[in-house]
Amino acid sequence: MDGPPSLEKNASPDPSGEDWMREAIRLARTGMLTSSGGPFGAVVVCEGSVVGRGFNQVTQLCDPTAHAEVTAIREACHALQRFELRGCFLYTTCEPCPMCLSAIYWARLDKVYFASTRLEAAAAGFDDEFIYGQIPLAVSARTLPMEQLFPEAAAELFREWSVNPDKTLY
């Protein structure tokens, strides 16, 4: 998605969210038909306005983080000029993957509405169960090798952050 989205007021507020979910589905189809990525679309709604739109652009942008939800969150934050989305809702065509779910929590969205489940996505070849299974494992038990380096230097960064009176908490 190029540039910030317009703060488009929904002509007739849709308390059920059906119009916003239809927009997410339309975006997903657009992405699929332009070979941008998988069948995923999302919109962020704030005070009756769509403030962020996204569709999966993983293959088009060669960016594994270019999921619909992440793209919509980025656009909404840009449009609202803030790094959190309290008071906003996400409508997405599929139950969020672990990465998108993390982004949703970090953005502090009020609620998520989704259409398909992660099991339906898995049946179509998008299986995130492996990642869901890796998260609760100890670092040493994960299949991706991970090794800690320079813990003392990193701890110093946290000490500096802790005493910085000008920091912005998030």
Given 47, 69, 75, 156, the catalytic residue: 69
Is 75 catalytic? The answer is no
Q: Report residue 47 as tokens.
A: 């005070």
CA distance 154 to 133: 28
Q: In sequence order, what are the beta bridge partners of 107?
A: none
Closest CA to 14 of 23, 25, 5: 23
Phi, psi of 56 (to 5 degrees): -65, 125
70 near 100, Cβ under 8 Å? yes
Which residue intervals of 34-168 are DSSP H helices? 58-61, 68-80, 98-107, 118-123, 129-134, 151-163
Instruction: Report which residue type is found at 109.
Output: L
Q: The tokens of 58 are what?
A: 């993983």
Which residue type is seen at 148?
Answer: Q
Q: How far is CA 14 from the centre of its chain?
A: 23
Active site (catalytic) residues? 69
